[in-house]
Every structure is written in C-alpha cells, then in structure tokens.
Structure 1
Amino acid sequence: MATPDNTGSSTRALRGASLLILLQVVSRAITFVANQVLLRFLTAQLLGVSTQLEVYYLSVIFFARESLRVAIQRQDSSDLSTEDGNHGETGKTTQAVVNLGYLAIALGIPLASLFGWLYLNSLSAATLASAPNLVVSLYIYALAAVLELVSEPAFVVMQTRLQFGTRATAESVATFLRCVVTLGSAVWGAHRDPGVLPFALGQLSYGVGLLAVYTWYGAGLTRREGFSLLPRRITGLLVKASQHQQPDKPPFILSYFYRPTLQLASSMMAQSVVKHILTQGDTFLVSILSTPTAQGVYALANNYGGLLARLVFQPIEESSRSYFSRLLAPASDSTTPSASTSAKQPEPNSSSEAASQASTALQSLLKSYLLLCLAITTLGPAATAPLLSLVAGPRWAGSGASDCLIAYMFYIPLLAVNGVAEAFVVSVATEKEVHRQSAWMGVFSVVFGAAGFVFLRVLEWGAVGLVFANGINMVCRIVWCVVFIKRYFRWRGVSFEVWGVLPAPEAVLAGAFTSHVVRRVVVSAASGEAPAGAREAVVELIQVAAVAVPFMMAVAMFERQFLYGALQAVRGRRQASSR
C-alpha cells in the first residue's frame, strides 16, 4: 500500500496534469485562432525568420533554467532542518529555493547577449533586407527572455509546492496577452510592412504577463511564510550528514545556494545542452541546409504536427517527471548497478512497493500514448490536406506542407514515447547515469546530423527528409531509455513489460484496414491534390470522421480490459483524494 505521502503526491500530480492539459487546450486554441489570422499577413520567408527568433528565445530560456528546474524538483526538503530540529517547508527552506531561482537570471543575461551576437553575425544581407525590423525584434526577444527569467524565483516556489493553479493562471494570462498584442500589432501594421515585429511584441507581453502573475502570488506567499522573493543569506539551517557529500565544505555556497542541488544542476547542464540541440536540431539543420522559404514551410508543418505534443504530451511529461521524482526519491539516491553487480540484492532504502507503483503507472501511460497515436497514424494522413487547406488556405496547402505533415503523423508516436521515457530517466537517474546519457545523446546527435545531411542535401527530400532524420534520432534515444528503464526496475525486483505497452494486434489490424479504407474514400488522399475549396475540404473531413467512428469502437472493444482498468484507477484516485 502506498504511503499517504505517495498517494497525495500521485493525486496532486494527476490533478496538475489534468489542469495543465486543460490550460494547454484553451491557450493553444486561442493561439491557433490568432495564428490563422496571422498567416494571411505572412509569407513563408517571414515565418521562417520568426521561427529562428523563437529558437533564439527558447535557447536562452532553456540553457538558463532547465537544469536548475530539474535539480530543484529533485531536492528533498527533509534534508534541511532548522536549528531546533523542525523539518519541512519552512520559510528558510523556501528561501533556499528562491535563491537558486536567481541563478537562472544570472545565466540568462549573458546568454541572451552571446546568442544574440552569434545570430546577428550568422544572418546574410539578403535575409536582413527581406525581413524588416529584424534587429529591433531580436533585441525585444532578448528583453522578453530576461523578463520571463525574472519570474523564475517565484515559479520554482510554486512548482515545489505543486501549485498548478498558479501556473495555469500565469500562463493563461500571458498567452492571452501574447495573442492580443501579436494579432493587434500585425493588423495595425498590415500596410506598414512590420516584418517580424508583431511576434517580438507578442513575446514581450508574454514575459510581462508571467512576471506580473507570479510576482503577485509569490508576494502573498511571502507574507504568510516569512521568506523573501529577493535573494537572502541562509542562516540557521542544518543538512543531513548522509546527504552532504563534501563534509569539508559548507552546505551553502556563499551562504546563498544549496550545494547538493547546485552540483546536481551542474552535472545536468551538459545533458541539457545536448538535449536542446537535439530538440531544436531540426530548426538548426533546416536553417543551414535550406532557404528561408523552405524553413517557413517546415515551420508551418512542425507547428501543426507538434500541436498534440504541446497540448497533451508536454504537460503530462512535466507532471510525470514531478510525480516520479517524488515517488522514487529514496530509490533514486542509490546507484544503479552495472551488469557485473546486477546479482546483488536491492539497497535497503529502495522501495520495491514504490517501484512497482511507478512501473504500473509508466506502462499505463505509455500504452495510452500509443493507443492515441494509433488513431493519429490511421486517420491523420487522410485528414491532413483538407484540414490544412481549410485553416491555412490553398496557398499553404500547395506549398509542400501537406506532405511534411503526413510524414509528421508517423513521427508523433516516437515523440510521445521518447518524451515520457526521458521524463522518467531524468527523475531517477544518478549523477553518473546522467553523464552516461549525455555521452550517448552526443552520439545520437552525430547520427541525427548525418541523417539530416543525407536526406536534405543528398536525397533532397526537403522538410520531409528532416522529419525522417528526427525519427532516426528519436528511435536511438528511445532504445537507450528502454534499456535504462528495464535495468532500473530489474534491480529493484520489479517487472517492466516493454511489449505490454503496445496496442493489441487486433487493434493494429483494425488501424491498417481503416487506413486503407479512408485513403480510398477521401478524394485528396487518393489523388494527392489539395481540395479545390472550403466546401470540398469540409466534406472530406466529414468522410474521415465517419470512418473514424467504427474504428474507434473496434479499438475500444479490443482494448476494453486496459481501458476499464485505467478508468477504475482514475476513479480510485479521485475517491482517495476526496476522503
């Protein structure tokens, strides 16, 4: 039986995932509508340049805070105690978390300057001439990144408290401001040729919104608990000797920063660099090996194809990372054995009960992902052309984005499995294992680059080839994670059935048959040409929906045992939380 703490963490993580998914659906729906209007004012070239600026912004944010966020999530507040022996989330332990958040600001400012200088020097004269206000927009993106990082001290406090409601409010307000400002400035400057300036102003408003909401909620918490959102020296805190790896050094660096968390963040930095290169590597490659127009086509396909990942996969991955970190915290402190020591018994502090709970949750999550992806790969390719023609216009439907989107449909299952698998690895991996993963991800990045060169330059497959290169890279990463997960659970005496997460063979056959039928029924899928107009596109989408109904019923019948078990598990958690 799970401990109350584990049960509470599981329930709160489940609620948090549900809330974040709802938030993503609403915010992305608003963003989606705004983007459809923006597409009427954009050329493919301007869209490609705006994607480059977004990568610049995301790079600054990612390198400045990602490793710190993961390390803070894995920090156990019970390792800290006040001088009177009290443990837990006191004002002083919270202040230690706030201080760590300021390191993201200290890293973000020089990173924004460095990456901005590198980006400006990489631009050609033709790109600068074809994209008005590009330099000004870059400066605004840099300011927006710094403003978002300024909200990090308040954010990490809310994250450690599992205050998902605060995050939902902050991101909702920020997303709404970004949509209004971006769309408003684009419409206002429609006859003035603003270039990518509307995107920059929208991103700046997003940072302002996050900072305002997190500061408001954080200030209320400081008044109740007696800590400060400004950095303060840490005094009167003791650290468990078993957790303090260097007894000859103080537990706090400069009396501000908790040393074990900072060391873990430093060890994860190299992995974060490689992970970001792999995550944004498609954009880097397409920037080097193709024209801005081709970049715009790929950006459109990537935005639509990755919509599900941003709506559903990302919030679930973040919540599962927090859930597994808390559930398996005692086991994650032990070192996973090598093959030569695998015959030994598990460490006394490892909980086989918690590991069994984690194995069941991970397998259920992966199977749910794959069932969803089965529907996507079965119905998505036929719906791509009419949907793209309807939402983006015939010009974009005939630009090659449709073919890229079809390829992306088969990439989504790899993206889904890799996301949750890596979330688990990050939650439980030791420092040594993090370094080993970083080394392997470096190898995979070389494989990805080689595959991208072959597909883009040798075979000249364009954006479709880039999707294939991403797929090869993702398969490599999944294989590594599966080997790690199998070893992790085997060492704790818990089984993890890889083949058990796959859909039932009957469901896969139903998908193959439905895919054949829908390609014969839908005109654009059979002819390879986009629908002639909006009316034809709507008719084809209705045809896809009609075929989808019996297919979904068949999958539900073949997977009824798993679906029933998942439903009972959700009901059980709700009943436990209501007591």
Structure 2
Amino acid sequence: MARSFLKSSLENATFNIVFQILFRCITFVLNAFVLRYVSQAVVGVMNVRLLLLESTILYLSREAFRRACLSKTTEHNWAQVVNLLWLTVPLCQLCCLVFGYVWLHVLEPPSEDITQHYALGVWSICVSCVVEMCCEPVYLVSQAFLFVRLKVVLDTALVLVRTAIFVPLIVHSPNRAVVAFSVAQLASATVYSLGFYAYFYAYIRDRNRRAALRKKDGPAPADDPDDDFPFRSLYDFLPAKVDGLPPIDRRLAALTWSFFKQGVLKQVLTEGERYVMTVSSVLSFREQGMYDVVNNLGSLAARFLFRPVEDAAYFYFSQMVHRDASIQEQNQKHMAESSGVLRRLLRCIASLGLVILVFGQSYATLLLALYGGARLARGPGPVLMRFHCLSVLLLAVNGITECYAFATMSTGQLDRYNLLMAVLSVSFLFVSWALTTLLGGVGFILANCCNMAARIAHSVIFIRDKYSSTAYNPLSGLVPGRLFLLALFAAGVVTKISEEYLFEDHKLLHLCIGAASFAVVLLSWAYEERELVALGVGKWRQRRASLKQD
C-alpha cells in the first residue's frame, strides 16, 4: 500500500475534526435538553461518576497498546501484533472487576432521592467496555492501514445510536435517566464493535474476489496494492501461533509496558479533578453537575479540535522520527519536514488558544445564558468559564508538545519520564484537594493549569535538547506574530469595555462588537501567516480538483 503519512495524517485530522464538531454539536444540544428534564445531581452521577469509570477502564486497557502498536507500523509482524492486542480483553475484564467493585462498594453511592439505578449504570459501563475491547485488533489495523473514513463513520454511528436511544427514553421517563444512559451505552458499544468486523468482512471478501480474478489473468504486478494488506480472513484477527517466532513481539511488549506505566499516571493527571470529586466528595453531586456543564462548554475547542490534531500529529511524528536515533543520524528531508510541521502546529494551536482566552473573558456570561438560561449564568458559572479559557490555552500547547515528545522518546526516556509523572500526579492531587477546599470548582481548574504548565516545561526542554545541535528551531512556533498579538490585545480591551457597559441592556450589540473584533484578529493572523494560508488554500483546491476528477 503506497502511503503518504503526512497526507493521511492531515486527512485523518480533518475527518476527525469534522466528526468531533458533529459530535460536540449533538452533545451540546443533548446536554441542554437533558438539563431541562433531569436534575443537575443526576447529571453529576452520569457525566462525572459513571463516565469517569468508563474513561478509567478504557484508558488503562487500551491506550498503551495503541500507542506502542502505532509506532513504525510498516515494520510489524501483524500476527504478533494481533496476539498482543487481544491481551486488552482480559486486562479490561480485570479492570472492570476491580473498578466496578470500587465504584459500588468503596465510593459513597448517590442517595435514592437522586437515582435508584446506580448499580445498573456501573455494570452497563463495565460490559460496554469489554465489548469495545473485542474490536481493538480490527480498530488498530484500520488506523495502521489508513482506513480514515471508517473510523469517522463508526464514531458517528456510535454517537447517533446512543443519542437515538437516550433521548426518547429520557422524554418518556425522566426519573429513570440512569436506565436510559445504561441502555444507550450498551447498544452503541455493540453497534460500534460489530461495525468494524462487518466492514472488514466485506473488504476482505471483495479483495479476495479481485485476487482470484487476477489469478486467472496471470501473476499479479509487483506493485499490486492488495499485497500490502496482510489479512486474508477475519480469522487472521484472532490470536494464533506464529511459526518460528515468539507469540508476541517483545520489543512492542516492552514499549507497551512503558506506555502503560506512564498511562496510569497520565490518566490521574488528565481526570484528576474528577477523581478528587469522586473520592473526597469535596463537591456535592449537584455541584459536580454544574462543574461538568461548565467544563464541557469550556473545553469544546479542546475536545473537537485539539484532540484529533494531537492524534494525527502523534501518528505522523511516530512514522517520521526514529525513537532511538539523534536528529543528525536520520533522514534529513524527513527531519526538515517534521520540524516545519511541528513549528506550524505550535503556531496555529497557540494562536487559537490565545483567541479563546481573550474572548472568553468577555463572553463567558453570554455563552452560559444562551446555553442554560439565566440560572446557569448566575453564580460561579461565569468565573469557572473564564478560568477554563486559561486552561484551554495551556491544554492546546501541552497537547502538541507532549505528543511530539511521546512519539519520539526512546523506551529509556519514557521510563524516566514516568518518574516525573509520578511526582506530578501526587502533587496534582494534593494541590487539587487544597485549592478546591479553598476556592471550590475554580481550584480544580487552577490545579490543572499548574499541572499542564509543568508538563509543557518538560516537553519544551526535551524538544529544545533534541534540536539543540541542529539548524531547526520548531519551538519558535510558540510565539505568534506581533501584529496578531497587538490586534488580540486591542480586541480584549474593546470587548471587556463592551461587556461592562452594553451586556445588560444591549446583548446583541455586545455580540456584534465581539464578531467585528474577532474578524480583525483573524485578518491580522492571516496576514502574518500568509504562507501557511496559501499552503492550506492550495491543498484545498487540489482536493476539490481530485474530487471532481473522481
């Protein structure tokens, strides 16, 4: 299979961004709908307690395997990789037993006044996680062989099935919201897993049919793209004996173990505030529901834009840069390209994060009022949203710098980084508990900012040292252009004055002033980054031309 990793990574990011926009729009409307039917306490149970259980099980069961097995996929023995990936199923079952018991018998359950179906919610999460793990080998093959659209289609199907089941059940029985959540969770996980197997069954069947037809016409050409796909049957996705080799690749197993140790700590850092909420009960379920609503609104950009870009960037850098070789020892054409991609990514992400930070200070209250009404816009909501904007900026920068570091660190460097992550994890939990006790929900956000700042510092030092003896300077992308920064500062002053004097009586005018200010900021950025804009326009035109030809 002829591959262009940069092209496929960009395509993957584009499709994922489109999907995430769709997904977040559906979730955005769904949450607004749910808030009008169920209490904030029930929202806290579903969106904080139960989804934290799902996140914990899935991350610990599969994230390390995905990161390790997506490194240098052209060099894999796929039978060994499949055997390794099936270890995710018993690992997931073990996690379900351990964390299911903790969620049911160790943590304080919600009172029956909030919900009587908490146990059903816990076990539905556990079963759905095991179902998803059964398609992990097929999922990874789809990623490695660049079946970009397949993942997007099935992710969309998962969201649509979950929504189509959850909404009618909520309307019919608002007091049985957790039951509706559980049924939707199980159904969507089943559709998602079966979808992967159904697609590859049809793909392999058609591929084998084409091979049989070509065989009648003589030997296949040397550059036949079908020969690059090593799977001839769905049975090839099942564990099997590997002739003359160990059942699993020991190098990949060692890399997986390094990522797993790191993943435990990263999960604590990523979901730290939810763990603190869940374990220490510093916030009531109602307060957790309020925090979750504001957190989801404040993290829209991070979820539908930053994460897909990070996933595509990790895949790209892991293919272009060897982990165990210095920059000078590698293909210099690849190094120049990857350095330029990293610099441009940092420039775009940092600029977007700054825009969110500046405009969020003046439009947090308006956003909450439009989303959840006056009740959501009063009290601590706007303050939480403004602090979230700072968190989004740090999250954006941390995502790109850390994904490059993880994609290019050697196994030894990953192990040393685990020690730092351990220190950060303990520190983060302590700081979260202390700041939340003093400041409430804002304390969670400030603790998260401290955590991400420390991780950014480590990744920046790693990247700086890696390129220290070369002519490349990708970290220059962290500082946007002067004209853009000047326009952004002016926009921040104008919109803050507008909020102070116009928001209460002239909300539409306040919104129009923000739109005009944003247009000025966008034009200033486009002028300074005209080379990047021209490149993007050229790629878009090429894409349109190729679609017309097809």
**TM-score scaled to structure 1, two decimals?**
0.84
Matched, 1:62 2:39: no
1:553 to 512, 523, 528: 523
Residue 99 (structure 1) shift: 2.6
Which amino acid counterpart does residue 171 of structure 2 have in structure 1?
A: V
Q: Which runs of 5+ in 2 are unaligned?
A: 209-230
**Paired residue for 2:303?**
310
The one of 372, 379, 390 aligned to 2:359: 379
What's the counterpart of residue 277 of structure 2? 286
Q: Residue 364 and residue 575 in structure 1: after superposition, are their counterparts in 2 closer, same or farther (change >3 A)? A: farther
Q: Deviations over 1:46-94 (max 9, x none)?
A: 12111111010111000000000011101444364xxxxxxxxxxxx3x
Residue 355 of structure 1 contacts residue 489 of structure 1 at CA under 8 Å; is this kept in 2? Answer: no
Match for 1:42 among 24, 28, 38? 38
User: Counterpart of 1:300?
Assistant: 293
The equivalent residue for 1:212 is 194
Match of 2:493 in 1: 516
Aligned with 2:376 (options 386, 389, 396): 396
2:242 corresponds to 1:235: yes
Deviation, structure 1 residue 455: 1.6
Aligned amino acid, residue 381 of structure 1: Q
Distance (whole Å) between structure 1 residues aligned to residue 350 and residue 109 of structure 2: 46
Matched, 1:420 2:387: no
* SS, match of residue 522 in structure 1: helix
- Note the aligned Cα RMSD (angstroms): 2.7
Deviations 1:335-381 (A, max 9, x none): x6xxxxxxxx944xx22321221111001001011121222122222
Q: CA deviation at 1:561?
A: 4.9
Answer yes or no: is 1:502 the counterpart of 2:479: yes
Q: Which amino acid aligns with 1:259?
A: R
2:344 alignment counterpart: 364
- Quote the Cα distance in structure 2 between the aligned partners of 1:33 and 1:472: 32
Hey, what's the Cα distance between the residues in 1 that align with 2:265 and 2:453?
16
The answer to whether structure 1 residue 131 and structure 2 residue 115 are counterparts is yes
Gaps of 5+ in 1: 81-92, 238-250, 337-344
Distance of 2:63 and 2:428 partners within structure 1: 22
Out of 434-443 and 127-136, give the one that drifted further: 127-136
C-alpha contact (below 8 Å) 1:359/1:489 kept by paired residues: no
Q: Determine if contact 1:97/1:156 at 8 Å carries over to the other structure.
A: no
Structure 1, residues 3-22: CA drift from partner, whole Å, max 9, x if none?
x977x111111111111111
1:472 and 2:450 aligned: yes
Question: In the alignment, which residue of structure 2 is the partner of 1:161?
Answer: 145
> 1:417 offset after TM fit, Å?
1.0
The answer on whether the counterparts of 1:386 and 1:540 sit within 8 Å (CA) in structure 2 is: no
For the pair 1:353 / 2:360, whether they are aligned, the reply is: no
Q: 1:22 aligns with which of 18, 23, 33?
A: 18
**Further displaced range: 220-229 or 512-521:** 220-229
Question: Aligned AA for 2:300?
Answer: L
Tell me which amino acid in the other structure corresponds to 1:162: L
**Contact conserved, 1:364 with 1:501, CA < 8 A, in 2?**
no
Distance 1:298 1:272 in 2: 25
CA contact (8 A) 1:522 1:544 kept: no
From the superposition, tell whether residues 450 and 318 of structure 1 become closer, same or farther in structure 2 (CA, over 3 Å).
same
Report the Cα distance in structure 1 between the residues aligned to 2:513 and 2:285, rounded to whole angstroms: 36
1:542 partner amino acid? C
1:373, 1:437 → 2: CA distance?
A: 26
- Does structure 2 conserve the Cα–Cα contact (< 8 Å) formed by 1:170 and 1:213? yes
Match of 2:211? none
Q: Residue 374 of structure 1 aligns to which amino acid in structure 2?
A: L
Cα shift readout 1:393-425 (whole Å, capped 9, x = no counterpart) = 222222422211111111111101111111111
Q: Alpha-carbon deviations, 1:241-282, whole Å to 9, x = none?
A: xxxxxxxxxx42xx3x22221221012110010011100001
Give, in whole Å, the separation in 2 of the partners of 1:324 and 1:575: 28
Distance in 1, Cα, partners of 2:541 & 2:473: 24
Identity of aligned residues (%): 24
The one of 470, 476, 490 aligned to 2:468: 490
Contact 2:310 2:400 in 1 (8 A): yes
Count of aligned positions: 521
Question: Conserved in 2, the CA contact under 8 Å of 1:387 and 1:537?
Answer: no
Deviation at 1:98, TM superposition (A): 2.8
The aligned residue for residue 84 of structure 1 is: none
* Deviation beyond 6 Å, 4+ runs, structure 1: 569-579
Q: Report the Cα offset of residue 129 of structure 1.
A: 4.6
Is 2:253 aligned against 1:262? yes
